[in-house]
Structure formats: C-alpha cells, structure tokens
Amino acid sequence: MLTEIPRSLATAPQRLSAEHGVIEVAWSLPSSAPRGWMVVGHPHPLFGGAMSNKVTYMLAAAAAEAGWLALRFNFRGVGGSAGQHDGGRAETADYLAVASALRTHLPNLPSVYSGFSFGGFVALRAAEQAPPDGVLTVAPPLTKYVDLPMPAVPTMPWWTIHGTDDDVVAMADNEAALADADPPPRWVRVEGAGHFFHGQLAIIKSTTVEFLEGLAI
C-alpha cells in the first residue's frame, strides 16, 4: 500500500504492495505540490518492454514538468515486479492497483491513465473499470499483439499519439478500428515517426504537457 509521496526524485526504483506481491515503480515528481497524478504503462514485456523505455520515461518526465506527479511501473514479471506475464489480463490489475494507491492518497486531484504501446492498451482496459479524468495513449495495439477484445472507447478526454510510419502498430489499423468511435479520440499524428519515436520525443513531451494543462483544476 502506498503510504507517502516521496519528497525527492530517488534514482532507485521503489515498490508498492499488490495482491500478487510487489510492483516495482519509479516516481517523477513536480517541483511543488502536484496539480494531478498520472500512471504510465510500458510496452509489451515479451518484446523487452519495461518502465525504463524512453517513451514511457518521457511521458512521466513531461507530466512532472507540467506540475503533475507521475508513476511508472513494471508489469508483473518485469524487473522487480512479482508474478508472470498474463497477456494483459493480470497486467490490468497491476495498473489498477497503482492507480488505486494514488487515488487513495490524492483523492481530490485529477487523474490520467497513460501508456505506450502495450501499456496504452492496458491503460484503456483500466479506464473501463476505474475511470480517470483523462486518457493519453501512444501507439496502443488495438487490433494485434494482445489476444483480448479492443477496450471500450473512453468517454473522458482521450488523446492518442501515433507515428505515420509506425511499422509495429500501423496507424491505419488503429484509425480503422476507431472509425466509428463515439466520442472519437483526438489524434496527434506525428509525420515520419516510427513506433519508438526515434528523434521525435519532443513531440511526446509537448503533447503530454498540452494535454495535462487542459485537465488541471
């Protein structure tokens, strides 16, 4: 259980308790009292995904710059997190456990679920069960790589960032999957960017800051 908010950015990851064991986490803290909080999910564990991923890190760092507290974490079976990979099912429970800890500690602040690739898919699943105030995804695999139904379209503000040259999660596939979405997400299309946004992280940063500034109370 989360008992306190660290007052400085520790370099060593910390751990939160969960029903299946511990979840390894890393904090990104604003320089003053947080305006809100954001959970950040990482890419697919079976393809080397971890909370150290550079896109995942940039989402959290941008949140802290915008005055929000951000918490990255390793899904079960990755790094110091207990358990085994479960294809997105138990990983949704991991995401919800982290969100619940933050919500309990900071109940009056706005919340955002975010994630890159697999982490974005899990964030959408978590939003179905415990809705946040906003959802920010980066190239979530809506139709491939995860053997689960596509999550429901969030009713809260949802922005999704996608590179036009993504050769892992094709933007056209996600556009087709969301063609009838009501409400539709706000698309942030990044010209020439591939799945890992090499040389394009500044767009991840600026988009995150813009999104959060629109949600802060």
Strand 69-73's sheet: what is its strand order? 14-18, 21-28, 69-73, 37-41, 111-116, 134-138, 158-163, 186-190
pLDDT confidence of residue 5: 55
Whether the predicted pLDDT of 4 surpasses 80: no
3-state secondary structure of 54: helix
∠186-64-106 over CA atoms, to 5°? 90
First vs last C-alpha separation in the chain: 26
Domains assigned to the chain: 14-215 (3.40.50.1820)
Average pLDDT over residues 80-85: 95
Whether the predicted pLDDT of 2 surpasses 80: no
Taking all residues of the chain, what is their mean pLDDT, rounded to a whole number? 92
Kindly report whether the global pTM for this prediction surpasses the value 0.85.
yes
Model confidence over 38-81: pLDDT tens digits?
999 999 999 999 999 999 999 999 999 999 999 999 999 999 99
Residue 215 pLDDT class (50, 70, 90 cuts): confident
Q: Are 54 and 129 in contact (CB under 8 A)?
A: no
Q: Which helix (H) or strand (E) segment is 27 a member of?
A: strand 21-28
Hey, which residues does 115 pair with through a beta bridge?
41, 137
